[in-house]
Structure 1
């Protein structure tokens, strides 16, 4: 492994994951992704070994790439909003 992961890098990937998961068109996918990201970071916040932190950081980067691809694909197949979602003012 190249080096250890800083707290700033971990915070940055966390914010990127949350930001990208907000782009899901589907309410269910969006909420699942947000919940899963928060739970995973909460579960791993006590990691102290640099090798394990690096492994989880790499896993987060891979998942960020997956989320980016899925949001692009989701935009190709858009659907109507659910009634529990906020409606925009111009509708």
Structure 2
């Protein structure tokens, strides 16, 4: 059975999406990095059996990621300083953007 490019792309995007759900900053970045690196390395595969094996391994890894996200959310810890800082910057940027838009509406 041939694996289509669409199937691989969908699997890649799903793995990235699921990896984003980790509540732990370190686990989240590690999972994202591993998914990207693994798929980047898999780009060079040409043999159909190797591709099929790699896709099956990725599907198994996706299931592991899903399970670990659930377990990680059961025991979620306080956010790290770097995460709090990023959230603060994001909300301040949104506030600035909204105030600029309100200023445009008033003129």
TM value normalised by structure 1: 0.91
Q: Which runs of 5+ in 1 are unaligned?
A: none
Post-superposition shift, 1:33? 0.5
Post-superposition shift, 1:4? 1.1
RMSD across aligned C-alpha pairs, in angstroms?
1.0
Q: C-alpha deviations, 1:61-90, integer Å up to 9, x for none?
A: 00000000000011110110001113365x
Q: Which runs of 5+ in 2 are unaligned?
A: 92-107
**78, 81, 104: which is aligned to 1:80?**
78
The one of the two structures with greater contact order (alpha-carbon pairs below 8 A, sep at least 6) is 1
Who wins on radius of gyration, i.e. which is larger?
2
Q: What is the aligned length? A: 87
Distance, in Å, in 1 between the alignment partners of 2:70 and 2:58 is: 19
Which residue is equivalent to 1:13? Answer: 11
Which residue is equivalent to 2:54? Answer: 56
**Larger helix proportion, structure 1 or 2?**
2
TM value normalised by structure 2: 0.78
